[in-house]
Amino acid sequence: MPIQTGTDTAKTRRTLSAGAQSVDYYSIAAATEAGLGDFSKLPAALKVVLENMLRFEDDGRTVSTDDIKAFAQWAADGGKSAREIAYRPARVLMQDFTGVPAVVDLAAMRDGIKALGGDAQKINPLNPVDLVIDHSVMIDEFGTPRAFQRNVELEYERNMERYTFLKWGQKAFNNFRVVPPGTGICHQVNLEYLAQTVWTDTDQDGKTVAYPDTLVGTDSHTTMVNGLAVLGWGVGGIEAEAAMLGQPISMLIPEVVGFKVTGALREGVTATDLVLKVTQMLRAHGVVGKFVEFYGEGLDHMPLADRATIANMAPEYGATCGFFPIDDETLRYLRQTGREEDRIALVEAYAKENGFWRTADYAPVYSSTLELDQSTVVPAISGPKRPQDHVPLTDASRVFGEYIKGMRKAPSVPADEKEKMTAEAGSPDPAPQEIPGGSHGHLNTAKVDGEDYELRDGSVVIASITSCTNTSNPYVLMAAGLVARKARELGLTRKPWVKTSLAPGSQVVEEYLKAANLQDDLDALGFNLVGFGCTTCIGNSGPLQPEISKAVNDNDLVAVSVLSGNRNFEGRISPDVRANYLASPPLVVAYAIAGDMNIDVTKDPLAHTPDGKPVYLKDIWPTSKEVSDLVDTIVTREMFQKKYADVFKGDERWQGVEVTDSETYDWPASSTYIQNPPYFQGMSQEPGTISDVKGARVLALLGDMITTDHISPAGSFKPTTPAGKYLTERQVAPRDFNSYGSRRGNHEIMMRGTFANIRIKNEMLDGVEGGYSKDAEGNQAAIYDAAMSYVEQDTPLVIFGGKEYGAGSSRDWAAKGTNLLGVKAVVAESFERIHRSNLVGMGVVPFEFTNGDTRHSLNLTGDETITIEGLSGEFKPLSLVPCTIKYADGTEKTIQLKARVDTEVEIDYLKNGGVLHYVLRNLAAA
């Protein structure tokens, strides 16, 4: 479909020649000449947004001249603005966990628009959409040559209903492509193939227009592509659906934090060490809701793969994105990864002509700045619960020991209560008792392969090279292979209790590891290929060996995972693992050899050779030159061109998936994966109003850093959980439960999984871990059952939380599930960007405490009745509204809450019951 641009374009539209091409573009310099303002000092990241405004100026719908002038004022005011703008990304990226519910919503919207008398064909993506199936492979088989094949077989067995549905969507919807299973992780496929840095399309007059490549994605790590100077960030599925249906993204002109990089990494320090340090610094600086842009001479020494590693983890440091301007390294990477020469020439010419090129004197205005000399970065890991918990490697064993001592002093839980919780939630025992002798005194023996060995607090039971964050980077992958080679030459291997795996983000990784003859070395240490996709970092770790799982759980051990991913939140990686650490791929290999977090890998022997000689980390660690020489020699342009030649074709299994050709979806009544959601059923043509929240009860009191994993877990669940009971009642065997993530197309499962993380702690219940609350009768119950008891009485619910509520994944089900449980408002000290937006998009109002109030200062216990007024009538963005708390003893207190409804458009969303209802009514009326 041709792009729709502004009608009054003469004042900013220009023509550009690049090689043999001649294209039109929207000139920022021309905007200055037209008297719209001085934009020369804008950061490149913000110039991308400005160009978007120029392209859609005066189209009669979304952009005004004042919007454009506001960008000049932003620079004049030192990087601040309260201007609301309507931004239109060029395309949308999805993965299957979030993509399936998005396609479910689109299918349901087709039913809904027909019910309103509209045309089902109006429900079609107007912008290009790519969905990469990458979240469904699970590590069942590992450490053997047949691991990859067996895991693929199981993936298709478990997910055929979902894959059939997605293939139907590919046929039914325009502008919608599916990258089949086994290809790679969406962000790495985007970085290596889909992204173009500068996009081209034809306008309504048939002329070619060049403009910055931009996107939103239904995965928080969409930000990875900012390393390639492509502006993109994660949104919830509901916001992405609105964007693909032509709805602009309403946002404030963001602050841009400048992160100056100087120097170069020292010998032995990896890109992972760098990004963990950057994450710590930016999380401390405070960048939620802001752009971060990297600049400085240090970028001259930073390969694009390292930039992508930093950009990938923007959700972990809390920013909307972490952007790198276009420079020579951008062009080199585009060429290496097989992009066409005409495209590369266009990127260079466009960037230099329109002010996006990073020159030696690049120094724009920023809202705030901070600086890092790369030479000060040291080897590190992060954990055991949060990505920003940066620990220098020299301190790792000591800090872990302190963590264990703290855990062992936790308050006790009565045995009968512990037994009840374990039975209901299927979770490991909570709150372990203090063990004499500290972490080294907590031992158990298990037998594997005929050998006896001791497990203890700190035993590493998972070591996984995984995630797009690091497997997109050939420098750290080659380093991991070299560590494996050197260890193998010395006769070392992994400890027998460590579950090892290699899950690259693209098939190109397999190609260059084999070409370097390093895959044999990795295989020898158990790092066999297990699949191409997101595995350990989203909870698809697969089960531990039964005897190891039993030893961990029977003895309340704090087992450890070490992975090269981006997330290590509680309960995310494995139900058997309590301490999770992020590390570089070569360190993952080293910890698999050591097998114990109590070992100081910088000083102690990792292991001993067959003849008894100690082997230290320095003995197997490659030099930076060894790594770079291997990358320069092995990784070629032809590898990328070969592997991406048939990226949408898939293997024989995918080609054999048969689907019907129909405009609307024939919802199978017996499916436990795909169900027609209730959002649009019985919907009227006219929007409603925003109502006050009256007489609400508290469903949960939650602490700081409640992540979307806490709210809507993605991993496995047990038969005793509400979701497990639902499937059991429908004759689904536990071995076929799959995961919450794979069942996001079924709202009945996801409602039952909301707030069901095995590590979440509802402060309404003393010492209880897992998804529990009090029902309408005041009895402890699973949080789903408690919510339904209130829904039956038509009683609204509220959630109270602490700081950084909703951190982590751009998981729309964290908001959808909240809505379907009957929650009308969430009150927290602060919100993470994506989840706040998702709550509004699902008709749930987010509020922040004011005047220093918190759930603690208000002495909330969960037995209160809550009334929030001021939402009806003249409710405005960011309004202060009264909230009356009636305590159990009858006393009352009124406080002020700040409504985190940030824009006028979001007010309209709430009046309609959500963003999709808003879009559906507009399309039906058009």
- Domain 381-609 belongs in CATH node 3.60.110.10: no
Q: Which residue has the tokens 């297990």?
A: 530
* pLDDT at res. 538: 67
What pLDDT band is residue 422 in, cutting at 50, 70 and 90?
Answer: very low
Closest CA to 569 of 733, 713, 432: 713
Would you state the pLDDT for residue 418? 40
Are 400 and 597 in contact, with CB atoms under 8 Å apart?
yes
Q: Which of 467, 318, 324 is nearest to 834 (CA)?
A: 318
Q: State the pLDDT at residue 423.
A: 36
Q: What is the pLDDT of residues 815-864, one digit of tens each?
A: 999 999 999 999 999 998 889 989 999 999 999 999 999 999 999 999 99
- Identify the residue whose tokens are 């292979």: 481
pLDDT in tens, 708-717: 989 999 888 9
First-to-last C-alpha distance (Å) of the chain = 19
Domain boundaries along the sequence of the chain: 13-87, 381-609, 693-712+754-925
Check residue 377 and give left, alpha or beta (phi > 0: left; psi -120 to 50: alpha): beta
Per-residue model confidence as pLDDT tens digits over 483-529:
999 999 999 999 999 999 998 888 899 999 999 999 999 999 999 98
- Domain topology for 693-712+754-925: Aconitase; domain 4 (3.20.19)
DSSP letter for 622, please.
P
511-520, 541-550, 602-611, 866-875: the lowest-pLDDT one = 541-550
Q: What is the DSSP string of 102-127?
A: HHHHHHHHHHHHHHTT--GGGSS-SS
pLDDT score of 431 more than 50: no
869-888 pLDDT, tens digit per residue, is 999 888 999 999 999 999 99
pLDDT band at 6 (very low <50, low <70, confident <90, very high): very low
What pTM, to 2 d.p., does this model score? 0.82
* Residue 3, token pair as written in the block: 């792009």
Q: Which residues pair with 845 in a beta bridge?
A: 825
Is the separation of the CB atoms in 891 and 865 below 8 Å?
Answer: no
* Rounded CA Rg of the chain: 27
pLDDT at 107 over 80: yes
Averaged pLDDT, 448-464 = 85
Distance CA(367)–CA(335), nearest Å, equals: 34
CA distance 371 to 295: 10
- Between CA 702 and CA 58 the distance in angstroms is 46
Single-letter code of the amino acid located at 801: G
Q: Yes or no: say if 334 and 348 are a contact pair by the CB < 8 Å rule.
A: no
**Measured between alpha carbons, how far is 431 from 425 in angstroms, rounded to an integer?**
15
Give bridge partners of residue 198 from the DSSP assignment: 212
Is 693-712+754-925 the same fold as 381-609? Answer: no
pLDDT at 10 over 80: no
Side-chain-side CA neighbours of residue 690 (13 Å): 26
Between 689 and 699, the higher pLDDT residue: 699
State how far the Cα of 591 lies from the Cα of 604, in Å rounded to an integer: 12
* Residue pair 633/475 in contact by the 8 Å Cβ criterion: no
Of all helices (H) and strands (E), which one includes residue 311? helix 304-312
The β-bridge partners of 827 are: 800, 847
Indicate the average pLDDT of the chain. 90
